[in-house]
Amino acid sequence: MTDDTRVRDEGFDDFLDAVEAGEGFYLECPDGHGSLPPRQVCPHCGAGDLGETPLAETGEIETYTTVHVAAPEFDDDTPYVTAVVDFGGVRLTGQLRDAAPEDVAVGAEVTPDVARTETTGERILVFR
């Protein structure tokens, strides 16, 4: 199933839209805890007053792996690098694009974007 037939997930798809438009954001509670939509309350402290804070333009790779065995939806994408990237208020998990696996390193600076998977054409959060 591709995005064209999948019912949108409110909050999540809005987040991807924003990242794709270069206007990524995260949710922040009055105590400064970051989280990702959709949220009714802060997952860390339960506060209900969540505002949108712009996502930093770049984040730092905190950990990564090259995936050789994937689920069927990512069969044609292998091998690919999955990374967890720290943006300060939140971390994001996505695929690293435009980088050879041997050039990937913890601490490297990357920017978030949205692309399509090779296998199904689904939208996916990526880092470049």
Size of the site for other proteins (CB under 8 A): 34
2 binds other proteins (CB under 8 A): no
Q: Are strands 59-67 and 91-96 parallel, antiparallel or unpaired?
A: unpaired
Asked if 91 interacts with Zn ion (CB under 5 A), we say no
Contacted by 31, from other proteins, Zn ion, none: CB < 5 to 8 Å by type = Zn ion
What x/- string results for residues 45 through 64 when contact with Zn ion is judged by CB under 5 A?
A: x-x-----------------
Q: Cβ distance 75 to 26 under 8 Å?
A: no
Binding piece for Zn ion, criterion CB under 5 A, among 4-12, 30-38, 77-85, 105-113: 30-38
B/e letters for 54-66, b = 16+ CB within 10 Å, e = fewer, are ebbeebebeebee
Q: Which stretch binds other proteins (CB under 8 A): 23-31, 48-56, 82-90?
A: 82-90
Nearest-approach distance from CB 25 to Zn ion, in angstroms: 16
The one among 4, 72, 100, 102 contacting other proteins by CB under 8 A: 72
